[in-house]
Structure formats: C-alpha cells, structure tokens
Amino acid sequence: MNPRLLFLFPITVCALTNLVYAQKGPKKPVSADAIYSGGNILTMVGDEPHYAEALAVKNGRILMVGTKSDAQRSQGPATKVIDLGGKTLLPGFIDAHGHIVDYTLRGNSPDLSPPPVSDVSSIEQLVAKMKPYVAANPPAAGKIAFGLGYDDSLLAERRHPTRADLDRISQEIPILVTHVSGHIVAVNSKAMELAKITKSTPDPMGGLIQKDTQTGEPNGVFEEQAGQIFVPLLAVPSTDARVQSLDELMRWYASFGITTAEDAISSPQNIAILLQKRKQADRPLIDIVSYPMWAIFNDVLSGKKKLDIDYTPPNFDGCAHWDASDLPKTRGGADIDRSTREKVGVYVNGIKFAGIKITGDGAPVGKTAYLTKPYLNPPHGQPADYRGYPTLPQEDLDKWFDAAYQNHIQIVMHCNGDAAADMMIAAVRKAVTQYGKKDLRPVMIHSQFIRHDQVETMKELGIIPSFFTSHTFYWGDWHLNETVGRERAFGMSPMNYAHSLGMKFTNAADSPIVPPSILDLVWTAVNRVSRSGVVVGPDERVSPYVALKSVTDYAAFQHFEERSKGTLEAGKMADLVMLEKNPLTVDPMTIKDIKVIETIKGGKSIYKATSR
C-alpha cells in the first residue's frame, strides 16, 4: 500500500463500521437492573444543587441519570422500578478520615465516653464502670485490661485519671484507659510495673510521661508517643475475632449511609486484618481505604516484616529494655521501594492501600496539639508559654515528603495546631521546589486551628484540608473557655473560608473518636452549635449543599476516586444513600435527625432501616 494512503485506513474502517450499523438499525436499549424515581435525586454535580427525575442502575454502575421518560427506555421485564415516595437519593457517603479497623480492637471493653455517646461523667463513674469489668474479664498474664474514651473536659473533676485513681480499680491487674482523642492514656501502677516504667524512664521523641511535680514519679498519664509502649501489651481480641468484628462494623457504617470507609494510620495488626479480609471470597460490604502508619509503611507493604498479631515496632523487644530510642522512627525515602509503590492506590477486592499517614501533633482537647501561640490555660505543671509539641522533627518530616514526591505517593498528615500545619506546609513546599507540582493531593487531616493565611498557602500548594467540624459540638465550649479562647475557637475548622477560595475540602468524624454519623458532620458544618448552644464561629458556617459536597464529591476527589464515586453520573458506581428527608430543605437544626432509609453499594442494598 502507498504509505501516503495509510492515513485513509482508519477513516475507511470507521465508514464501513457505520454502514454496517446503519444496515442493522439502532442498537437495542440496555435493560436496567433498577430504576429510581418519584423523589429528590440530588446528583451533587456542580456548585449548585441539581436534581434529576430518575436514575437507572446496571451491573453495579449508574446507567443513566435524567428524565423519567429517558429512564423508561431502559426498563425491561426484570427491571426493578423503585418509587422513592418523596425521599431523597444521594451519592453514598464517604468517610474522609477515620479508623474503622481500630473499632475491632475494642472487644467488650467498656466505653468510658461522656453523654451522648456513653455515660461516664466523673472519675468516680469511670472507676465504678471499670471495676466489675476487670473482675469479670481478667487479662492473660502479661496483658493489660483496658477501657476507652474518657474525656477530661467533661469529667466532673476536669482532669485525667491518674495511677492512684486506677489503682482503686485493681492493684493486681494491669489497667489502661484511653482518652477520647486517642492521643493520651492513663494506667495504673501494675501496668507501669509490667512496662518497666520508672522515675528515670526518659520521654520519647514526640511524647511525654507526666510526672508528679513534688516527687518526680510518673503519675500514670502518658501523652502521644509515650503511650505507644503499652500498645503491644493490650488484651485485644484475636485476629479471627477482629476479622469477624469488621463485618459487623461495616454493616454499622452502612447504617449511616457510608459506602467507603477509611482506616488511617493503619498499624501492622490492622493491615493484617485487611489483607486477610480481602483474601476472602466474599467482597467486603463497603470499600475500605487504608493509609499505613509512616514508620512501618515500607516494611509492611514490601513484605519485609511478617504480618501477625504479635508484631512490635522496630527495636522493641517487649518491655524489659525499653527506652526512648525504641519507638518507631522515620527512615526517609530510601525505604520506599518498587514493591511498595506497586501496592499503593489499587483496589483488591474492595480494599485499597492509598498512601502514607503521618501524625504531626496531638489533640487540642488534650492540650497536646502544636500551636504557634500558647494555650489559654496550660496543662498542670506546664509553663504559661506552653504550646504543645510536634510528633517528629521538621528534618524527618521533610524526608517523608521528599520520598512521597519522588515516588508519587499521597501523604495524609494529622495537623491539629497551626504550628504543626506550618511544618507540613514547609515540607510540601520543599518537595514541590525539588520535584515540581504533582497531583498528589496531600491532605491536612483535621486542619483544626489553621489560620486563613495558611489556608491560602494550602490552596497554592494543592493541600486538601480535611476538617473535623464535630469539635464545635463536642468540645466547642472547652475550646472557648479552656484551650484556646474565643478568637481561635471561632476560627477553627475554617470551612467557609476554604469554600470562599474555591477549594475542595472534606469533613470527617475521626471515628472512633466520635461515631461515624455523616449527617451529624453535615449538621455541625452548617450550624456549629456547641453543647451549651453557642454558635462557635458563625462566619465559618456553610450551606447544607456545601457540607454535603465535603462528604461526597470532594471526599471522592481526596481519595483519587472522582471518576467512580462522589456524584450521580452515568458510568460511576451505583453507591447510593436514600434519606427520609432532603437535607437542603429541612430546618438546618434538624439535619442530624434525618433517618437513613437505605444504603446501596454497587447496586446492591446493604442496609435498610427498620420501619417505625
């Protein structure tokens, strides 16, 4: 053939193909598996609310979204025709930051949270609740019994329980209780004896062992990385029990309308659970996105470390010789190898390892978040200029972002305080300067007390803020009166400012810190009302539609899944949630009371509410 005629070949093929189809006539319409109509189908496409009359589903994907007459063309003899009856249909909710697998650690351990989550409002009640549990469930030798979620900001005593308090529960059985933030633990004397903690035990990097100001003895309260020494000693359920528990948890998450959940800062034990889960024949009920803990990221995903329930951090050989150097360390870019990179960002049977999670600082409610200005009221024993502290130094943080940008891996980093945010911004800027701008979508988890100038810089660098607006309800009063004062409390979670800059952002419950109720998140983003009724930062409130974007469209973008999730469009996954009422039209103060009627994952119903 004349080479100059080769360019005609594709055109000729297309012309012949079109002629054949023209002779055969139009293709037969695809028969949908299900058609939804008769309600408010809120597509979440665009900057303003857009509704469709009908939505059709085929093979787990959205076949079409449009008019009812268009949908009827795909109706076949086996198509289920579902009348919404005036209810509202939206994209399935996406958990933009949480720790779903951590829930499996709980077993039957007591919930020590205050109302409305549980019922502990004083140290006396905590002791009373733990005492019968420990007596009935003594741990195996060398293990620690534990309870979860006490909140010193809402305890009558307004302080953490100490070793003396917990010794009243038992002086023979090791006991640990976790703070609601997950960043602080309190233990009794027996637990410290088991862990070989003494007056001379040094503080680890990024952590603090609280000491009695008179005697210098540890008082039983361990902050941040100091608490990690007790993790291998906890009497947690078996791996098989945790895998089974994860099934139940996914059903619970589905009851909130969640079709994609997150397990951030996944430990080796959590990763083992996820790997076992994705090997099972049945696909998990919902998708799970995992971000392994930075210090074990490469060792675990590359297979250099055996994954089992007895895994302990590098250089940690039990408790006999522990010191500050035995905690996990960062190891820089050399440790992210090809075998690790190939495992990142790919779903296997509903589970995806998406990148690296770094904890940059602590929790503002526990006064361990790293701030640029001092706390309003510093913790007991701390000086007036106390500002909290970072988890790792800037040099190590820079190495991790260098490694991530060099290997094209997403990092999500916990930053509650604005000083921690400055550290992340500096690390990202340095990596961008070295490697150029890349679409890596680094996420600043919580972005709690970030300043407006930082939000502007985050936009410039492509950092996604993932807010935690539930703080305005659960701890808004505490922040106003105890941690940071009115000005900073009113500016926390600056969602509306980010929206005014045209940014994409997400909102998350950080479960199990608070329950994974997406509609509660939407309610707090819209109203920002504290427990006492104060509107904590009226200027940072957003509309219900913007609040919904943060848990659907923008959350899909954060996970690099905007082509398959987050909006109702043809070709995307049929991940849907049906609500009793439309969040855009009800009284904003009632959004949290809207009932989830049904949750659909990949076209299959995975949750249906029981009738009243």
Torsion of CA 282, 288, 291, 293, to 10 degrees: -60
156 φ/ψ sector (left φ>0, alpha ψ -120 to 50, else beta): alpha
pLDDT attached to residue 331: 37
pLDDT attached to residue 28: 63
pLDDT attached to residue 309: 31
Q: Which residues pair with 82 in a beta bridge?
A: 36
pLDDT attached to residue 36: 98
Residue in 33, 57, 84 with CA at minimum distance from that of residue 578: 84
Length of the chain (residues):
612
Give the tens place of pLDDT for each residue, 204-227: 888 999 999 889 999 999 999 899
Q: Work out the angle between the directed axes of helices 268-279 and 239-254 (0-180°, nearest 10).
A: 80
For 293-356, what is the HEC assignment?
EHHHHHHHHCCCCCCCCCCCCCCCCCCCCCCHHHCCCCCCHHHCCHHHHCCECCEECCEEECEE
For 442-482, what is the HEC assignment?
CEEEECCCCCHHHHHHHHHHCCEEEECCCHHHHCHHHHHHH
Proportion of the chain above pLDDT 90, given as a percent: 79
Separation CA 181–CA 104 (nearest Å): 17
Right CATH number for 240-314+326-605 from 3.50.50.60, 3.40.50.2300, 3.20.20.140, 3.40.50.300? Answer: 3.20.20.140
Pairing between strand 576-579 and 88-91? antiparallel
Structure tokens at 321: 């010789």
Longest dimension (CA), the chain: 96
Right CATH number for 3-86 from 2.30.40.10, 3.40.1190.20, 3.40.50.740, 2.60.40.10? Answer: 2.30.40.10
Domain positions in the chain: 3-86, 108-233, 240-314+326-605
pLDDT attached to residue 295: 83
Separation CA 354–CA 343 (nearest Å): 9
Separation CA 447–CA 416 (nearest Å): 5
Separation CA 463–CA 455 (nearest Å): 9
282 φ/ψ sector (left φ>0, alpha ψ -120 to 50, else beta): beta
> Is the separation of the CB atoms in 31 and 75 below 8 Å?
yes
Separation CA 213–CA 211 (nearest Å): 6
pLDDT attached to residue 343: 77
Task: Give residue for tokens 């233990």.
Answer: 187
- Quickly name the fold that domain 108-233 has: Diaminopimelate Epimerase; Chain A, domain 1 (3.10.310)
DSSP string, 483-522: IS-HHHHHHSS-HHHHHHTT---EE--TTTTS---HHHHH
CA 186 to chain centroid, in Å, comes to 24
- Report mean pLDDT in 10-residue bins for the chain, 612 residues: 34 35 53 97 98 98 97 96 98 98 92 94 97 95 95 94 97 96 95 94 91 92 92 90 94 98 93 89 92 85 55 29 32 56 85 94 95 95 95 93 92 98 98 95 98 98 98 96 97 98 98 96 98 98 98 98 97 98 98 98 96 61
Phi, psi for 35 (deg, rounded to 5): -130, 130
Q: How many helices (H) and strands (E) does the chain have?
A: 19, 23
pLDDT attached to residue 107: 87
Query: What average pLDDT does the chain have?
Result: 89
pLDDT attached to residue 167: 97
User: What contacts 488, CB < 8 A, 6 or more positions away?
Assistant: 373, 449, 479
Angle, alpha carbons 480-546-354 (nearest 5°): 90
